[in-house]
Amino acid sequence: MEPTFIERILLEAIFRLEGERTDRSLFHVIQGKRSATTLQDAHFYRLDSLFGMVPLDPKGYEEQLNNLIRKGWIRNVPFELTEEGRGLIGHTFIVDGLGGECRGYSLILWKRFSLLLQTLLCLKQKTTFIPVQQDEGTKSWVRHTLRTIEDRDAWIETAYRELRNALESLEGEDATLITYRLSGNRTGLSLPQLAERLDVDTLSIRMQFQQAWVSCLKSLPESGLIHGLARDVSRDKMTTSAARTYELLRLGLSIEEIKSRRRLKDSTMEDHLVEIAMYGDRFPLEQFVPESVAKEIRMIQQSEGTFALKRIRQNMKQECSYFQIRIVLARLVKEVL
C-alpha cells in the first residue's frame, strides 16, 4: 500500500526526528508554534520548510498518527518509523518544498494574487462574482491595490506572461493544480472539488497544491509583478522579540544592558541568543563558548549523529551548559545550510 501525500509528509518528518523528539514536538512544528523549543526542533532536524504548513488540529493529527500505527509504519514509544515505514522513505523529501521557512509568505501571496486576478478579470468582463478568498484582510488589501493599478489590461498581460513562463518549468501535476485553482470570470476548483477530480483526500491535495505553488514562486522573477504583491510581507524566521534583541546587539549593547533595558529573564535572553545563532548572519560564538568546548560539542554531535542535548552533555569530557550546546548546534546547522 502506497502512503498518501500527507502520510508521506508525516513519515519524512518522523524519519528526520530520528526518535529524539515526541509526537507532540512534531505537532508544534507543523502548527508553527513560535516557541524557542519548537523553532530549535525545526532548525536542528531540517524541518523549517514544514513549519506551520500542515492544517491539522490535535484530533486530526492524532487520527493521522493512529492510522500510521495501524498500518505498521510508525511506533509511538519511542516516536519513530518501523522498518516497514523506513522502506517508504524516498530519496527526495516532500517536506523540503512546502515553504514553511518563509513563515507564511507563500500562503499570503496566493490569497492576494488569486483574488486580485479574479477581480480584475471579472471587472474586465463586467460580471459579478463570489470572491475566491473570504478573509477580510485579503479583500481589504485587494480593494486598496485596485486603486493603484493604472493600466489593468497591462497588469493582466504581465501577470499572465510571468505565470505562464513559471508554469512551463514545473514538473508533473504542479502546473495543472495551480491552473485548476485560478479563477477568472469562471470560478476555479475548490480544494474538495480538486481532490474529488484527482481521487485523493482533501488534506493531501491541499499540501500538494502548496508544494506546487512554492515551486512556482521559485520560478517567478523575484523582482517581478507577482512577487511584488507581497513585498510588504516579512519572511523573517526570527521571532519579533528575538529580532529586537539582535538589533540591540548590533548597535553595540552588552547582554546585561539588553536584559536590563528589555527586562528579560536569563532564560528568555538565552532563547533569543539561540534564535540569533540559528538565523543571524553573524554570531560571536566565542563570547559564549570556549573554542575547545565548541569543538568537542561538534565532534560528539557528528560521531553520535544526534541533536539530543542531554545525550551530548553526557558524552562531554569538559564542563558545559545546555545553553552552550544549543548555540553551538544552532551555528553548526546554520553553517551546513
Q: Say what the pLDDT of residue 185 is.
A: 65
Residue 271 has pLDDT above 80, yes or no: yes
Contact present, 292 and 320 (Cβ < 8 Å)? no
CA of residue 17 relative to chain centroid, distance: 16
Q: Say what the pLDDT of residue 45 is.
A: 96
Q: Is residue 89 part of a domain?
A: yes
Give the domain range for residue 299.
240-336
Q: Is residue 204 part of a domain?
A: yes
Q: Is residue 159 part of a domain?
A: yes
Angstrom distance (rounded) from CA 137 to CA 129: 18
Q: Say what the pLDDT of residue 279 is.
A: 93
Angstrom distance (rounded) from CA 313 to CA 107: 40
Cβ contacts of 156 within 8 Å, gap of 6 or more: 117, 120, 121, 124
- Taking only the tens place, the pLDDT of each residue in 57-106 is 999 999 999 999 999 999 998 999 999 999 999 888 999 999 999 999 99
Angstrom distance (rounded) from CA 233 to CA 135: 17
* Same domain (yes/no): 188, 85: no
- Taking only the tens place, the pLDDT of each residue in 163-218 is 999 999 998 889 999 999 997 767 788 899 999 998 999 999 999 999 999 999 99
- Whether omega for the bond prior to residue 78 falls within 30 degrees of 0, making it cis, is yes
Is pTM, for the whole model, over 0.75? yes
Q: Say what the pLDDT of residue 337 is.
A: 61
Mean pLDDT of all residues in 20-49: 96
* Same domain (yes/no): 220, 132: yes
Examine the fold and report which residue of 60, 83, 100 is the final residue of a domain before the chain moves on: 100
Contact present, 23 and 77 (Cβ < 8 Å)? no
* Same domain (yes/no): 216, 119: yes
Contact present, 292 and 316 (Cβ < 8 Å)? no
Mean pLDDT of all residues in 304-331: 96
Which DSSP category does 305 fall into? T
- Taking only the tens place, the pLDDT of each residue in 274-306 is 999 999 988 899 999 999 999 999 999 999 999
Mean pLDDT of all residues in 45-66: 96
If one counts the domains in the chain, the total is 3
Angstrom distance (rounded) from CA 307 to CA 206: 31
Angle CA 175–179–184, to nearest 5:
160
- Taking only the tens place, the pLDDT of each residue in 220-252 is 999 999 999 999 999 999 999 999 999 999 999
Mean pLDDT of all residues in 130-136: 92
Q: Is residue 234 part of a domain?
A: no
- For residue 222, the SS3 value is coil
Neighbours of 263 (CB within 10 A): 7
- 76 forms beta bridges with 79
